[in-house]
Amino acid sequence: MNLHDRISSFAWLGNKLRMYHENCNDPELQSLVVAAGLASQRNGWFTPEIIRTALNNLGSSLTHESLQQWLLVYAAGIEQVKSPKTVGVVMAGNIPAVGFHDFLCVLLSGHKLLAKLSSSDDRILPAIAALLIGNMPEWQEFITFTNGKLENFDAVIATGSDNSSRYFEFYFGRVPNIIRRNRNSIAILNGFETADDLRNLADDIMLYFGMGCRSVSKVYVPAGYDFTLLINALAKYQFYADHHKYRNNYDYNRSIYMVSQLPVTDTGFILLKEERQLASRIAMLNYEQYEKTEGIISDIRETLQSIQCIVSNMALPFSTLLPGEAQKPALWDYADGVDTLEFLISLQ
């Protein structure tokens, strides 16, 4: 397969994933429908709506135009990959098909994928791979999934926590690698956001139950900020309170802060807490007030290595996303800011 064939194959897949969201009665999609159902049964966080949203976001990014635009600067390097390497990929399982971008990068670069799936998300990506192979059988020799120990690989991409990264560094340090750690996303508000801005920000905060590294876990707000409009915007996700796993987390956090008599704003479905820490618990949103923009710019510079995305309408000396864009990464939005394709091309 040449690069043109690979691009066409993934553009075809993008169309199929968009169809899944709109109408999943396509016969070619039935194995994915079954896999999604099994994933939802096995992992309570993967509701059918969450899975549909995740697959639609993937499909929306996989247009022929976007793929060509993304790969333009890499094309010469990819065409020079004549001897495919086996790339072991250790995938997370916090949101549906969260390892897809690594899957995509390895295959587009001309290398072979050896993927170790998380037990929390081991159904959806194999079904997506089966779709690809059904359309272009040549992919069969490039895709392998394993539940066991990764062996016989030439390079590794591993995604996990700060704790697991130490394990990854010990076991995979002898080969070229990308090892990802904990990251969180933030939003910086100036108080002039529109109602639409805040509704879009609610998606950045709440989608996937706030469990993704691109989920906003903390907002910076001007001193004296009135949270009423933001809480009203978040209310579109009030139905989360009926989800048993989310509700358990909300009730537990609420009881902890009530017993400790620590100040917290209780909306009935999410708790808002003034907190300097970036990471927040499930069903909680941290916030911090600021007097001057210069102060938070200094703070953010100190923690930039722990930040995945910054959402803001403000002009800031950082790469930022508009509200509503955090959960819809473009193909060129690399996790941890590490250019995965450049790494893969360098393996030759």
Structural domains of the chain sorted by starting position, each given as residue range(s) with its CATH number in brackets: 3-182 (3.40.605.10), 184-311 (3.40.309.10)
Whole-number percent of the chain with pLDDT over 70 = 100
pLDDT digits (tens, 9 = 90+) for 55-82: 999 999 999 999 999 999 999 999 988 8
pLDDT at 261: 82
Identify the band that residue 18 occupies on the pLDDT scale cut at 50, 70 and 90: very high
pLDDT-wise least confident of 5-9, 57-61, 220-224, 262-266:
262-266
Structure token digits, residue 42: 């096995």
pTM, two decimals, is 0.94
What is the Cα–Cα distance from 71 to 217, expressed in whole angstroms? Answer: 32
pLDDT at 160 over 90: no
Rounded-to-10 torsion of CA 221, 222, 228, 229: -70
User: Angle at Cα 34 formed by Cα 32 and Cα 36, nearest 5°?
Assistant: 65
Q: Whats the size of the chain, residue-wise?
A: 348
Would you say 122 and 148 are in contact if contact means Cβ atoms under 8 Å apart?
Answer: no
Identify the band that residue 161 occupies on the pLDDT scale cut at 50, 70 and 90: confident
Identify the band that residue 163 occupies on the pLDDT scale cut at 50, 70 and 90: confident
